[in-house]
Structure 1
Amino acid sequence: MTVDDYLASLDRALSKMPEKTESDARFVVPELRVMSEGKTTVLENFTSIVDTINRDQTHFFKFLVRELGTAGKIDGNRLIFQGRFAPKQILAQIEAYVKEYVMCSECGRPDTKLVKNERVLMLKCDACGAIRPIKKRFIKQQTVEQGFVEGNTYTICITAVGAKGDGIAKKGKYTIFVKGTKKGDVVEAIIKKIAGNLVFANMVNK
């Protein structure tokens, strides 16, 4: 076989291969556009993310506000959270949603849909046919029950300001003091000292 014959044969073989579909490409959530407005945090491209993950926006919205422990509202293309959140805090919850409610655990594709089977919410994959139940999340309850550990980092919602100007939060039986914060802030803080039910923390540098 000559080189020309080989190249022609290779071209014919390649032409018969199926084209790469969009779902074969790496699934990527759009980069978050987050900004602060007073005591609120705005996710500017909320609907763009909803379109990408192909899920009901109300279901997605309720998941985010529940997992962030706050309130919020959908405003046009934007999602407004009560309180201040770092982009990485929001991204962590979006990634958790995508893992549980979008991506197939068998083939790793996003070509899925949510269905109910005898009142149980299931994730069904259109690509490989796999189906699995959605897991219930108990993260917040476990955090409260386990308490705090010195040196660990936690997400803290500041609800008041003390006489010395430190932000104050309540979580279970604990009262947490975080320097340099004010009412309405939601921050990541590292625990420096625990004295009984009193917890002293510093904000993590962003």
Structure 2
Amino acid sequence: MIESPSPDPTTETITVPTAVRVVGLDLSLTATGIATVGDTTNVLTLKSKGNATATLDERALRLHNLTLDIITRAVFGDTVVIEQPAYGQTGGSHHDRSGLWWLVVDALIPEVDRLIEVTPQTVKKYATGKGNASKDEVLAAVVRRYPNVPVANNNEADALILAAIGARLSGTPIESGLPLTHIDALAKVRWVA
């Protein structure tokens, strides 16, 4: 809320409501998707390049810098919705991905009003109506549902769905007429109003 300064104590303070700002984060070591929903809706991809032969110091510095890049964009959200790690995933750089997730979460907790984690299955179901949809199915559904948002890749699509979930839970959905199969995805989201 923005309050206008009032030098005269007899003058009433005017409170101007502002739009709820929601940020969706699809974290990645190479291409993090970030979506912001508020007065406008925007998406972007933060790219980062690693090196298979990087030293521990180099890996730590990369995670630190990537975290700073992410939080400088996410800290402006009243609500930030972040995709949970895929716990079954054990491929390359799994440990570094987990480190990035926790660094971002730790940095955001004291800075935003609400930080919510959402499972990958919830993202898929909200986007497509099925929790086992492929990344390309999610992207196609996002492009159809939000034709005015220039979504360029799967990371941005996931981030936009995360932001849309946060907007709907905040009482300011960015889409109308969503089928119940999609809305049912929200039943398992841990949300504190």
Superposition TM-score, scaled by structure 2 size: 0.26
- Which entry has the higher C-alpha Rg, 1 or 2? 1
**Structure ranking higher in helix proportion:** 2
Superposition TM-score, scaled by structure 1 size: 0.25
**Structure ranking higher in strand proportion:** 1
